[in-house]
Amino acid sequence: MNEPILEAGAVEQGTSLWKDAWIRLRRNRLAVFGLVVLVSFVILALLTPWIAPYAYDDQNLDLGATPPSAAHWLGTDIFGRDLLTQILYGGRISLAVGFVATAVALLIGVTWGAVAGYVGGRVDAVMMRLVDILYALPFMIFIVLLMVVFGRNLLLLFLAIGAVEWLTMARIMRGQVQTLRQQEFVEAAVSLGLSPATIIWRHLVPNALGPIIVYTTLTIPSVMLLEAFLSFLGLGVQPPQTSWGLLISYGAETMEEYPWLLIFPGAALTLTLFALNFLGDGLRDALDVRGSTD
Protein backbone atom coordinates (compact mmCIF):
# COMPACT_ATOMS: atom_id res chain seq x y z
CA MET A 1 0.00 0.00 0.00
CA ASN A 2 1.33 3.37 -0.91
CA GLU A 3 -0.74 5.60 1.19
CA PRO A 4 -0.68 5.36 4.94
CA ILE A 5 -4.00 3.95 5.96
CA LEU A 6 -4.04 4.67 9.61
CA GLU A 7 -3.64 8.05 11.10
CA ALA A 8 -0.63 8.63 13.25
CA GLY A 9 -2.73 8.70 16.40
CA ALA A 10 -4.21 5.31 15.72
CA VAL A 11 -0.89 3.58 16.09
CA GLU A 12 -0.50 5.01 19.53
CA GLN A 13 -3.88 3.63 20.49
CA GLY A 14 -2.34 0.24 19.83
CA THR A 15 -4.67 -1.55 17.42
CA SER A 16 -3.78 -5.18 17.18
CA LEU A 17 -2.13 -6.58 14.10
CA TRP A 18 -5.25 -8.54 13.21
CA LYS A 19 -7.69 -5.71 13.60
CA ASP A 20 -5.40 -3.58 11.52
CA ALA A 21 -5.22 -6.18 8.82
CA TRP A 22 -8.96 -6.69 8.80
CA ILE A 23 -9.60 -3.01 8.23
CA ARG A 24 -7.19 -2.97 5.31
CA LEU A 25 -8.54 -6.19 3.86
CA ARG A 26 -12.07 -4.83 3.83
CA ARG A 27 -11.02 -2.01 1.55
CA ASN A 28 -9.72 -4.45 -1.07
CA ARG A 29 -12.77 -5.28 -3.17
CA LEU A 30 -11.32 -8.28 -4.95
CA ALA A 31 -10.17 -9.77 -1.69
CA VAL A 32 -13.62 -9.29 -0.19
CA PHE A 33 -15.14 -10.95 -3.25
CA GLY A 34 -12.73 -13.86 -2.81
CA LEU A 35 -13.58 -14.15 0.83
CA VAL A 36 -17.32 -14.11 0.15
CA VAL A 37 -17.01 -16.79 -2.55
CA LEU A 38 -14.87 -19.00 -0.35
CA VAL A 39 -17.04 -18.62 2.71
CA SER A 40 -20.17 -19.38 0.70
CA PHE A 41 -18.55 -22.46 -0.84
CA VAL A 42 -17.54 -23.66 2.60
CA ILE A 43 -21.06 -23.10 3.92
CA LEU A 44 -22.54 -24.91 0.92
CA ALA A 45 -20.13 -27.79 1.50
CA LEU A 46 -21.08 -28.01 5.15
CA LEU A 47 -24.80 -27.92 4.39
CA THR A 48 -24.63 -30.26 1.37
CA PRO A 49 -26.35 -33.28 2.95
CA TRP A 50 -29.39 -31.10 3.68
CA ILE A 51 -29.55 -28.92 0.59
CA ALA A 52 -28.47 -31.29 -2.21
CA PRO A 53 -31.46 -31.91 -4.48
CA TYR A 54 -30.70 -35.65 -4.91
CA ALA A 55 -28.65 -38.37 -3.24
CA TYR A 56 -25.13 -38.30 -4.61
CA ASP A 57 -25.21 -41.92 -5.76
CA ASP A 58 -28.75 -41.85 -7.05
CA GLN A 59 -28.47 -43.34 -10.54
CA ASN A 60 -31.02 -43.33 -13.30
CA LEU A 61 -29.45 -45.36 -16.08
CA ASP A 62 -32.42 -44.93 -18.38
CA LEU A 63 -32.11 -41.17 -18.17
CA GLY A 64 -28.38 -41.10 -18.96
CA ALA A 65 -26.57 -37.85 -19.67
CA THR A 66 -28.94 -34.93 -20.15
CA PRO A 67 -28.19 -31.22 -20.50
CA PRO A 68 -29.32 -28.76 -17.81
CA SER A 69 -33.08 -28.78 -17.26
CA ALA A 70 -35.62 -27.72 -14.66
CA ALA A 71 -35.33 -31.02 -12.79
CA HIS A 72 -31.55 -31.12 -12.98
CA TRP A 73 -30.22 -27.55 -12.99
CA LEU A 74 -26.76 -28.52 -14.15
CA GLY A 75 -27.75 -31.62 -16.11
CA THR A 76 -26.92 -35.25 -15.37
CA ASP A 77 -23.93 -37.52 -16.02
CA ILE A 78 -23.95 -40.76 -18.01
CA PHE A 79 -25.41 -42.65 -15.06
CA GLY A 80 -28.25 -40.15 -14.82
CA ARG A 81 -26.86 -38.71 -11.58
CA ASP A 82 -27.60 -35.07 -10.85
CA LEU A 83 -24.52 -32.99 -11.60
CA LEU A 84 -25.33 -30.24 -9.09
CA THR A 85 -25.41 -32.83 -6.34
CA GLN A 86 -22.14 -34.30 -7.57
CA ILE A 87 -20.48 -30.89 -7.55
CA LEU A 88 -21.75 -30.15 -4.05
CA TYR A 89 -20.47 -33.45 -2.69
CA GLY A 90 -17.26 -33.17 -4.72
CA GLY A 91 -16.71 -29.73 -3.23
CA ARG A 92 -16.81 -31.20 0.26
CA ILE A 93 -13.92 -33.50 -0.54
CA SER A 94 -11.95 -31.03 -2.62
CA LEU A 95 -12.23 -28.22 -0.09
CA ALA A 96 -11.47 -30.54 2.79
CA VAL A 97 -8.37 -31.88 1.05
CA GLY A 98 -7.33 -28.38 0.12
CA PHE A 99 -7.65 -26.96 3.59
CA VAL A 100 -6.59 -29.90 5.72
CA ALA A 101 -3.58 -30.87 3.63
CA THR A 102 -2.49 -27.25 3.43
CA ALA A 103 -2.92 -26.83 7.17
CA VAL A 104 -0.71 -29.86 7.72
CA ALA A 105 1.88 -28.49 5.32
CA LEU A 106 1.67 -25.11 6.99
CA LEU A 107 2.13 -26.46 10.47
CA ILE A 108 5.09 -28.67 9.65
CA GLY A 109 6.71 -26.26 7.21
CA VAL A 110 6.48 -23.14 9.33
CA THR A 111 7.70 -24.82 12.50
CA TRP A 112 10.53 -26.61 10.74
CA GLY A 113 11.67 -23.54 8.81
CA ALA A 114 11.40 -21.20 11.77
CA VAL A 115 13.39 -23.48 14.06
CA ALA A 116 16.06 -24.08 11.43
CA GLY A 117 16.33 -20.40 10.65
CA TYR A 118 16.37 -19.25 14.25
CA VAL A 119 18.74 -21.80 15.72
CA GLY A 120 21.05 -21.78 12.72
CA GLY A 121 24.44 -23.45 12.62
CA ARG A 122 24.71 -27.20 12.56
CA VAL A 123 21.05 -27.81 13.46
CA ASP A 124 20.03 -25.67 10.51
CA ALA A 125 22.37 -27.55 8.20
CA VAL A 126 21.04 -30.94 9.26
CA MET A 127 17.40 -29.86 9.10
CA MET A 128 17.72 -28.30 5.69
CA ARG A 129 19.68 -31.23 4.27
CA LEU A 130 16.79 -33.42 5.33
CA VAL A 131 14.48 -31.13 3.39
CA ASP A 132 16.81 -31.40 0.40
CA ILE A 133 16.74 -35.16 0.59
CA LEU A 134 12.94 -35.24 0.73
CA TYR A 135 12.89 -32.82 -2.19
CA ALA A 136 14.98 -35.22 -4.20
CA LEU A 137 12.49 -38.05 -3.68
CA PRO A 138 9.94 -38.21 -6.43
CA PHE A 139 6.95 -37.07 -4.42
CA MET A 140 4.46 -39.26 -6.26
CA ILE A 141 6.37 -42.36 -5.24
CA PHE A 142 6.43 -41.09 -1.69
CA ILE A 143 2.66 -40.62 -1.59
CA VAL A 144 2.01 -43.91 -3.34
CA LEU A 145 4.23 -45.65 -0.78
CA LEU A 146 2.40 -44.02 2.11
CA MET A 147 -0.95 -45.04 0.67
CA VAL A 148 0.18 -48.59 0.01
CA VAL A 149 1.71 -49.09 3.45
CA PHE A 150 -1.09 -47.54 5.47
CA GLY A 151 -3.99 -48.46 3.27
CA ARG A 152 -6.44 -46.15 1.67
CA ASN A 153 -8.49 -43.72 3.64
CA LEU A 154 -9.41 -40.13 3.19
CA LEU A 155 -7.79 -38.70 6.28
CA LEU A 156 -4.54 -40.39 5.40
CA LEU A 157 -4.77 -38.95 1.92
CA PHE A 158 -4.99 -35.49 3.47
CA LEU A 159 -2.00 -36.14 5.69
CA ALA A 160 0.05 -37.74 2.95
CA ILE A 161 -0.40 -34.80 0.64
CA GLY A 162 0.35 -32.38 3.48
CA ALA A 163 3.46 -34.36 4.31
CA VAL A 164 4.97 -33.74 0.90
CA GLU A 165 3.81 -30.18 0.43
CA TRP A 166 5.57 -28.66 3.42
CA LEU A 167 9.07 -28.59 1.98
CA THR A 168 8.86 -25.32 0.06
CA MET A 169 7.03 -23.78 3.00
CA ALA A 170 9.94 -24.68 5.28
CA ARG A 171 12.46 -23.07 2.95
CA ILE A 172 10.51 -19.85 2.64
CA MET A 173 10.06 -19.64 6.40
CA ARG A 174 13.72 -20.26 7.07
CA GLY A 175 14.74 -17.50 4.69
CA GLN A 176 12.35 -15.07 6.33
CA VAL A 177 13.47 -15.93 9.82
CA GLN A 178 17.13 -15.59 8.90
CA THR A 179 16.65 -11.98 7.78
CA LEU A 180 14.32 -11.13 10.66
CA ARG A 181 16.50 -12.41 13.47
CA GLN A 182 19.21 -9.88 12.64
CA GLN A 183 16.80 -7.08 13.44
CA GLU A 184 16.67 -5.01 16.61
CA PHE A 185 13.27 -6.12 17.86
CA VAL A 186 14.51 -9.69 18.03
CA GLU A 187 17.63 -8.63 19.87
CA ALA A 188 15.40 -6.69 22.21
CA ALA A 189 13.27 -9.75 22.82
CA VAL A 190 16.35 -11.84 23.49
CA SER A 191 17.72 -9.32 25.96
CA LEU A 192 14.37 -9.32 27.73
CA GLY A 193 15.00 -12.99 28.37
CA LEU A 194 12.18 -14.47 26.31
CA SER A 195 12.47 -18.13 25.44
CA PRO A 196 13.30 -19.06 21.83
CA ALA A 197 9.84 -20.60 21.39
CA THR A 198 8.15 -17.39 22.43
CA ILE A 199 10.39 -15.35 20.19
CA ILE A 200 9.63 -17.58 17.22
CA TRP A 201 5.89 -17.67 17.73
CA ARG A 202 5.27 -14.14 19.03
CA HIS A 203 7.77 -12.19 16.98
CA LEU A 204 9.15 -14.05 14.03
CA VAL A 205 6.18 -15.92 12.60
CA PRO A 206 3.79 -12.93 12.50
CA ASN A 207 6.43 -10.91 10.70
CA ALA A 208 6.92 -13.59 8.07
CA LEU A 209 3.21 -14.05 7.42
CA GLY A 210 3.09 -12.25 4.07
CA PRO A 211 4.99 -14.72 1.91
CA ILE A 212 3.60 -17.63 3.88
CA ILE A 213 0.04 -16.63 3.17
CA VAL A 214 0.72 -16.11 -0.50
CA TYR A 215 2.36 -19.49 -0.70
CA THR A 216 -0.53 -21.04 1.20
CA THR A 217 -3.05 -19.74 -1.29
CA LEU A 218 -0.95 -21.30 -4.02
CA THR A 219 -0.69 -24.59 -2.17
CA ILE A 220 -4.43 -25.10 -1.76
CA PRO A 221 -5.18 -25.31 -5.50
CA SER A 222 -2.16 -27.46 -6.21
CA VAL A 223 -3.23 -29.84 -3.46
CA MET A 224 -6.71 -30.05 -5.00
CA LEU A 225 -5.18 -30.98 -8.34
CA LEU A 226 -2.91 -33.51 -6.70
CA GLU A 227 -5.92 -35.16 -5.10
CA ALA A 228 -7.58 -35.43 -8.51
CA PHE A 229 -4.48 -37.03 -9.92
CA LEU A 230 -4.18 -39.54 -7.09
CA SER A 231 -7.84 -40.44 -7.37
CA PHE A 232 -7.41 -40.98 -11.07
CA LEU A 233 -4.61 -43.43 -10.30
CA GLY A 234 -6.89 -45.23 -7.90
CA LEU A 235 -5.14 -44.02 -4.76
CA GLY A 236 -7.49 -41.30 -3.66
CA VAL A 237 -11.24 -40.96 -3.66
CA GLN A 238 -13.05 -43.88 -5.27
CA PRO A 239 -16.49 -43.95 -6.92
CA PRO A 240 -19.24 -43.28 -6.06
CA GLN A 241 -17.56 -40.65 -3.90
CA THR A 242 -16.25 -37.85 -6.00
CA SER A 243 -14.25 -34.66 -6.00
CA TRP A 244 -13.97 -31.72 -8.34
CA GLY A 245 -10.75 -33.05 -9.78
CA LEU A 246 -12.38 -36.37 -10.59
CA LEU A 247 -15.48 -34.73 -12.03
CA ILE A 248 -13.26 -32.67 -14.30
CA SER A 249 -11.19 -35.62 -15.40
CA TYR A 250 -14.36 -37.59 -16.22
CA GLY A 251 -15.91 -34.56 -17.87
CA ALA A 252 -12.87 -34.07 -20.07
CA GLU A 253 -13.33 -37.59 -21.43
CA THR A 254 -16.71 -36.72 -22.85
CA MET A 255 -16.34 -33.00 -23.43
CA GLU A 256 -17.49 -33.26 -27.01
CA GLU A 257 -20.61 -35.28 -26.29
CA TYR A 258 -21.61 -33.82 -22.93
CA PRO A 259 -19.81 -30.48 -22.47
CA TRP A 260 -21.74 -29.54 -19.34
CA LEU A 261 -20.01 -32.33 -17.45
CA LEU A 262 -16.74 -30.46 -17.89
CA ILE A 263 -17.93 -26.86 -17.81
CA PHE A 264 -19.70 -26.81 -14.44
CA PRO A 265 -17.15 -28.65 -12.30
CA GLY A 266 -14.44 -26.68 -14.10
CA ALA A 267 -16.22 -23.43 -13.26
CA ALA A 268 -16.51 -24.42 -9.59
CA LEU A 269 -12.80 -25.18 -9.34
CA THR A 270 -11.78 -22.08 -11.28
CA LEU A 271 -13.95 -19.84 -9.15
CA THR A 272 -12.42 -21.28 -5.99
CA LEU A 273 -8.90 -20.82 -7.30
CA PHE A 274 -9.59 -17.22 -8.30
CA ALA A 275 -11.13 -16.52 -4.94
CA LEU A 276 -8.12 -17.98 -3.18
CA ASN A 277 -5.72 -15.93 -5.25
CA PHE A 278 -7.58 -12.66 -4.69
CA LEU A 279 -7.86 -13.35 -1.01
CA GLY A 280 -4.20 -14.30 -0.82
CA ASP A 281 -3.15 -11.08 -2.52
CA GLY A 282 -5.39 -9.05 -0.27
CA LEU A 283 -4.16 -10.78 2.86
CA ARG A 284 -0.55 -10.28 1.92
CA ASP A 285 -1.09 -6.56 1.50
CA ALA A 286 -3.18 -6.34 4.64
CA LEU A 287 -0.71 -8.23 6.79
CA ASP A 288 2.40 -6.54 5.50
CA VAL A 289 3.59 -5.04 8.76
CA ARG A 290 6.28 -2.96 7.14
CA GLY A 291 3.84 -1.43 4.69
CA SER A 292 1.59 -0.21 7.47
CA THR A 293 4.13 1.49 9.67
CA ASP A 294 5.45 3.78 6.92
Partner 1 sequence: MRSFICKLLTPLILLLLVGCSAGESNVSQGNREGILHFGNGSEPQGLDPHVVTGVPESKLIDALYEGLTRKNPWTLEPEPGAAASWTFSEDRRVITFKLQPEGRWSNGDPVTAHDFVWSWRRALDPAMGNLYAYMLYPVKNAEAYATGKLQDPEQLGVRALDDHTLEVTLVEPTPYFLQLLDHYSTFAVPRQVIEQFGEATDRFTRWTRPGNIITNGPFRLTEWKLNRRIVVEKNPHYWDAEAVQLNGVVFYPTENLVSEERMFRVNQLHYTNDVPLDKIPAYRAMPDSPFVEAPYLGTYFYLLNTERPPLDDVRVRKALSLAVDRAKLARSVMHDLVTPAWSITPPGTLGYQPPKLFGYEPERARALLAEAGYPGGEGWPGLELIYNTSESHRKVAVALQQMWKDVLGIEVTLSNQEWKVYLDSVSEMNFDMARRGWIGDYVDPNNFLDLYLSDGGNNNTGFSDPVYDEMILERAPQAKTREERFRIFHAAETRLMEEMPIIPVYTYASKHLKHPSVKGLPPNLMDFVNFKTIRLEPVDVHEFEVP
Gap between the terminal Cα atoms of the chain: 10
**What's the CA gap between 90 and 22, in Å, rounded?**
31
**What's the CA gap between 202 and 182, in Å, rounded?**
16
**What's the CA gap between 113 and 89, in Å, rounded?**
36
Given a contact cutoff of 8 angstroms between Cβ atoms, the answer to whether 94 and 224 are in contact is yes
**What's the CA gap between 25 and 31, in Å, rounded?**
7
Q: Is 108 in the site for partner 1 (CB under 8 A)?
A: no
> Would you report the helix, strand and coil content of the chain in percent, each value rounded to 5?
75, 0, 25
Q: Is 53 in the site for partner 1 (CB under 8 A)?
A: no
The sign of the torsion formed by the CA atoms of 134, 135, 138, 143 equals: positive
Q: Is 234 in the site for partner 1 (CB under 8 A)?
A: yes
Q: What string of DSSP letters covers 82-113?
A: BHHHHHHHHHHHHHHHHHHHHHHHHHHHHHHH
Cβ closest to partner 1, residue 134 vs residue 225: 225
Tell me which of 4, 49, 64, 206 binds partner 1, using CB under 8 A: 64
Name the one range near partner 1 by CB under 8 A: 22-30, 75-83, 95-103, 175-183: 75-83
Q: Is 144 in the site for partner 1 (CB under 8 A)?
A: no
Cβ closest to partner 1, residue 144 vs residue 194: 144
Tell me which of 33, 99, 142, 229 binds partner 1, using CB under 8 A: 229
Question: Least separation, in Å, of the C-beta of 108 and partner 1?
Answer: 17
Tell me which of 155, 256, 290, 293 binds partner 1, using CB under 8 A: 256
Site for partner 1 in 111-140 (CB under 8 A): 138-140
Q: Is 66 in the site for partner 1 (CB under 8 A)?
A: no
Task: Give the number of residues in contact with partner 1, rule: CB under 8 A.
Answer: 28
Chain residues that interact with partner 1, rule: CB under 8 A: 57, 59, 61-62, 64-65, 78-80, 138-140, 152, 222, 225-226, 229, 233-234, 238-240, 252-254, 256-258
